[in-house]
Amino acid sequence: MALIDSFTGLVVDLDGVVYRGDGAVEHAVDALAGRPGSGVGVMYATNNAARPAAEVAEHLTRLGIPTRPEQVVTSAQAGAAMIAERLDEGATVLAVGGPGVALALREVNLEPVAPQDRIDDDAVADRIVGVLQGYGKELTWSDLQEAAYAVRAGALWQATNTDLTIPTGRGISPGNGSAVAAVRNAVDVDPLVAGKPYPPLYELCAQRLGESVDRILAVGDRLDTDIEGAHAAGMPSLLVLTGINRLVDAAAGPAEHRPTFVARDLRALDEDYVAPTADGDAWTCGEARAELTGEGDQLALRLDGGSPIEQARAALACCWTAIDDGRAPRELTEPIRATLTDLEAQLDQQEAA
Where do contacts with Mg ion occur on this chain (CB under 5 A)?
13, 15-16, 221, 243
Task: Considering the candidates 15, 143, 163, 226, report the single residue annotated as catalytic.
Answer: 15
Give least dist CB 162 to Mg ion, A: 15
Give least dist CB 18 to Mg ion, A: 9
Task: Considering the candidates 13, 143, 163, 221, report the single residue annotated as catalytic.
Answer: 13
Q: Which is nearer to Mg ion, 15 or 265 (CB)?
A: 15
What letters, b where the CB count within 10 A reaches 16 and e where it falls short, cover 162-193? bbeebbeeeeeeebbbebbebbbeebeeebbb
Give least dist CB 13 to Mg ion, A: 4
Q: How far apart are CA 193 and CA 187, in angstroms?
A: 16
133 contacts 159 by C-beta, under 8 angstroms? yes
Q: What single-letter amino acid sits at 218?
A: A
Distances (CA, A) of 64 to 33, 59, 67, 152: 7, 9, 9, 47
Is 15 annotated as catalytic?
yes
Give least dist CB 147 to Mg ion, A: 26
What are the backbone angles phi and psi of residue 11, rounded to the nearest 5°? -115, 115
Q: Which is nearer to Mg ion, 44 or 320 (CB)?
A: 44
Q: Which is nearer to Mg ion, 95 or 241 (CB)?
A: 241
Q: Which is nearer to Mg ion, 129 or 223 (CB)?
A: 223
Give least dist CB 102 to Mg ion, A: 24
Is 13 annotated as catalytic?
yes
Is residue 60 packed enough to be buried (19+ CB in 10 Å), middle (13-18) or exposed (0-12)? buried
Collapsing DSSP states into helix, strand and coil, what is residue 36? helix
Numbers of helices and strands, H then E, in the chain = 13, 19
Q: Which is nearer to Mg ion, 111 or 256 (CB)?
A: 256
Hey, which residues are catalytic here? 13, 15
